[in-house]
Chain A
Amino acid sequence: METAIISGKGGTGKSSVAAAFAALAEEVVVADCDVDAANLYILFHPENIEHRSFTGSREAVIDDTICDGCGLCVDYCRFDALSMAAGHAIVLGVFCDGCGLCARVCPQHAIEMEENCESTLCSGNFRYGQLVYGRLAPGEENSGKLVSMVREKARQHARDRRMNNIIIDGPPGIGCPVIASITGVDQVVIVTEPSKSGMLDLKRIWSLCKSLRLPAYVLINKYDLHIAQSKEIEAFCKANGIRLAGRISFDPIIVDAMVHCKTVTEWVPGSGIVSEIKTAYRKIFQETL
C-alpha cells in the first residue's frame, strides 16, 4: 500500500509526520519524494547507501569555431535561451529547456546537446526498513522523472523485502513533482495548518487529488495555533467529504526532536502529541475503508 503525505503549503510539518508514521509502522519503505529538498535522511541516517546517477536534462553548447552567426537558432528558440554576441550565438544556460531544436536547425551543425546535470537516486537501510531518496542536481528541472524513479525503487524494495507499507514524503506545491508523487497511490494524507495560507493551499491540493481520483485524509497540524481557522478547515473537509485523520497540537518539542535527529515518537514517546499522532496513524493505516 502506498500512502503519500503531502501538503500544498510548505512547512506544515509534513516530513515530521511522515517520519513519525514510519516509526509507528516499524517495517516500512520510505520514499522521500521531496527531491528538491530531501530531508528524511537527516533523521534516519541510512546505511549501506547505494547511489545511482541519472541525467535529467540536456543543454545546448555552441562551438564558436563553427558558428557563423546566422542567427537561425535564436529565431527558433522559444525559451529565449539564445542570443547573438560578437557575431556568434551564445546560450544562456539557465533558460535552456533542452529541447534540441537549435541543434536541429543549425545549418553549420555547430550546436551539440550536452548532458549537463547529474542527479542522484540514493537508497539505504535504516532502523525501520528502507529509505529511498533523490537528490536533484541544482537547477535541474526534470524532478518529476526523479520522483518516479524514487517511487519505482521503493516499490522494488517493498517487493524484495516483502513489506506492504510504502510511505511517500511528497514535495510542496501542486506541480509536476507533486503530481508524480501522488499519481496512482492508494491514499493521500494532506497535512495542513490553521492559517489562511494553509486553507488556500489545501483547497488547491484537494482539487488536484480530486482530479486524480485519490482518496484523501486531512490532518490538521498545529491545530491550536488558531482554533477558528482549524474549525474552518474541518468544515471544508466535511462539506467536501474528506476524512479528517486527526488534529495535532502545536508543540515546539517537534522541533526539538528534529534537532536531535529523532522522530517525535522516539523523542517523547509518552507525550500528548505522540498520542495524537498515533490516533491519526491508526485511522489512516488500520481503519478498514
Chain B
Amino acid sequence: MKIAVASGKGGTGKTFVATNLFYALQNEGLVPTLLDCDAEAPNAGIFFNGKKKHTLEVVLKVPEIDTKRCTYCGKCHEYCNYNAVFIIPPVKVIRILEELCHGCGACLYACNEKAINEKEICLGKVSRFDLSLGASMIVTQICVGVYSPVKVIQAGVRETNDDPLVIMDSPPGTSCPFIQTVVRADYVLLVTEPTPFGLSDLKHSITILKGLDKSCGVIINRSGMGDRAIYDFLQQQKIPLLMEIPFDKSIAAAYAKGDLVAMQNKAWCEKLFSMFNLIVANGNSHH
C-alpha cells in the first residue's frame, strides 16, 4: 500500500505528518518505506539517520548535433515541441538548448542525415537508506538548475516497486510533480491549515484527486488558528477529517530542531497509528 501525504499549499506540515507517521508505523512493528518525493526540497532526511544502501543517477538523453553531417534542413527544429533546437540555416548555426529539452527523441527521429547523437545529462539522484528494524528511506533530489523534478520523482517511485508499505512525502502544489506522486498512491492524505489560503489550495487538490479517482482524507494542521470555513467545506463535500493537529509552539520548536514528536510522546504514535488503521479500512471499503 502506498499512502501519499500531500498539500496544495506549501508549509502546511506534510513532512511533519509523513515523518511522524512513518515513525509510528515502525513503532507498531511494521516495516514501512518513507519516500521523499519533494525532489526540489527534500527534507525527510533531517529526521532519520540511516546507512546509504545505494544511489542511482537519474539521467536525461539529450541530443548532440554532429555539425559535419548536419545539412541545416531544420526538420529537427520543426519536430521539437519544446523549442529546444535553435537554428539559423543561412549562417549554419544550430544549438541545442538542453534546459528546454524533455528528451523525447523526436529530433533524433526527424533527422535523415544521422547528424544527431544522444548524450546523457544528470537530472538528479535517488538514494536508498537502510534504517533500523528493516525500514527504508528513499530520497529524491534534483540538481540545482534542473527545470522539472518529474523524472526524478518517477525514478523514486519505481525504486519502491517492491516495498510493501510506502509513505510518500509529496511535493507541494497541484501541477505535474504532485500528480506524478499521487497517481501511484492508493490513498492521499491532504494536510492543510484552517486559513483562506489553505482552503483555496485544498479545493484545487481535491478537484484533481477526484479526476484521478483517488480516495483522500484531510488532516487540519494548526487547528485553533484561522477560521471554520474549511470544516464546513469538508462536511459539505463529505470528505473525512482524519485528524486535527492543534497549533502548539512546542511542536513547531521540536520540528525546527529535527525532532519527531511521535518519538518523544507515545500518544502521538497511537493517534497516528489509529489514523492509519482508519485509512486502511476506508481504502478497503472503497475498492
Is B90 on the interface with A (CB-CB < 8 A)? no
Q: How far is the CB of A99 from chain B (nearest CB, A)?
A: 3
Please tell me if the beta carbons of A200 and B253 are within 8 angstroms of each other in the complex. Answer: no
Please tell me if the beta carbons of A78 and B104 are within 8 angstroms of each other in the complex. Answer: yes
Chain B contacts for A144, CB-based, 8 A: 147
Chain B contacts for A173, CB-based, 8 A: 40-41, 149, 171-173
Is B200 on the interface with A (CB-CB < 8 A)? yes
Please tell me if the beta carbons of B147 and A179 are within 8 angstroms of each other in the complex. Answer: yes
Chain B contacts for A197, CB-based, 8 A: 15, 41, 43, 46, 255
Please tell me if the beta carbons of B175 and A143 are within 8 angstroms of each other in the complex. Answer: yes
Chain A contacts for B148, CB-based, 8 A: 141, 175-176
Chain B contacts for A208, CB-based, 8 A: 144-145
Is A204 on the interface with B (CB-CB < 8 A)? yes
Please tell me if the beta carbons of A136 and B174 are within 8 angstroms of each other in the complex. Answer: yes
Is B231 on the interface with A (CB-CB < 8 A)? no
Please tell me if the beta carbons of B225 and A255 are within 8 angstroms of each other in the complex. Answer: yes
Cβ-defined partner of B174 (8 Å) among A37, A42, A255: A37
Is B94 on the interface with A (CB-CB < 8 A)? no
Chain B contacts for A246, CB-based, 8 A: none
Please tell me if the beta carbons of A10 and B9 are within 8 angstroms of each other in the complex. Answer: yes
A138-B211, A175-B147, A259-B227 given; A104·B196 CB < 8 A:
no
Interface centre among A12, A37, A179, by most chain B C-beta atoms within 10 angstroms, is A37
Please tell me if the beta carbons of B197 and A39 are within 8 angstroms of each other in the complex. Answer: yes
Chain B contacts for A104, CB-based, 8 A: 79, 106, 109-110
Please tell me if the beta carbons of A15 and B175 are within 8 angstroms of each other in the complex. Answer: no
Please tell me if the beta carbons of A140 and B175 are within 8 angstroms of each other in the complex. Answer: yes
Is B156 on the interface with A (CB-CB < 8 A)? no
Cβ-defined partner of A259 (8 Å) among B12, B171, B196: B196
CB 8 Å contact bits of A152-175 with B (1 = contact, 0 = none): 000000000000000000011111
Please tell me if the beta carbons of A78 and B197 are within 8 angstroms of each other in the complex. Answer: no
Q: How far is the CB of B105 from chain A (nearest CB, A)?
A: 6
**Distance A136 CA – B212 CA, assembled complex (angstroms):** 17
Is B64 on the interface with A (CB-CB < 8 A)? no
Is B17 on the interface with A (CB-CB < 8 A)? no
Interface centre among B106, B201, B258, by most chain A C-beta atoms within 10 angstroms, is B106
Interface positions, chain B 82-103, Cβ under 8 Å from A, are 82, 102-103
Please tell me if the beta carbons of A105 and B109 are within 8 angstroms of each other in the complex. Answer: yes
Chain B contacts for A261, CB-based, 8 A: 196
Q: How far is the CB of A24 from chain B (nearest CB, A)?
A: 20
Is B204 on the interface with A (CB-CB < 8 A)? yes
Interface positions, chain A 215-267, Cβ under 8 Å from B, are 222, 225-226, 229, 250, 252, 255-256, 258-259, 261
Please tell me if the beta carbons of B176 and A172 are within 8 angstroms of each other in the complex. Answer: no
Number of interface residues of B (CB under 8 A): 63
> Tally of A-B residue pairs with Cβ under 8 A?
185
Please tell me if the beta carbons of B257 and A196 are within 8 angstroms of each other in the complex. Answer: yes
Please tell me if the beta carbons of A139 and B253 are within 8 angstroms of each other in the complex. Answer: no
Q: How far is the CB of A140 from chain B (nearest CB, A)?
A: 6
Q: How far is the CB of A51 from chain B (nearest CB, A)?
A: 17
Is A70 on the interface with B (CB-CB < 8 A)? no
Please tell me if the beta carbons of A42 and B200 are within 8 angstroms of each other in the complex. Answer: yes
Chain B contacts for A175, CB-based, 8 A: 40, 142, 146-149, 177
Chain A contacts for B179, CB-based, 8 A: 94, 139
Chain A contacts for B197, CB-based, 8 A: 15, 37, 39, 42, 258
Chain B contacts for A8, CB-based, 8 A: 41
Is B208 on the interface with A (CB-CB < 8 A)? yes
Interface residues of A (CB under 8 A from B): 7-12, 15, 36-37, 39, 42-43, 58, 76, 78-79, 94, 97-101, 104-105, 136, 138-141, 143-144, 171-179, 193-198, 200-201, 204, 207-208, 211, 222, 225-226, 229, 250, 252, 255-256, 258-259, 261
Known: A136-B175, A141-B176; 5 extra A-B contacts, CB below 8 A, are A39-B200, A94-B183, A176-B147, A204-B144, A208-B144
Q: Closest 7 interchain pairs by CB?
A: A11-B11, A10-B10, A99-B104, A36-B173, A173-B40, A195-B256, A176-B147
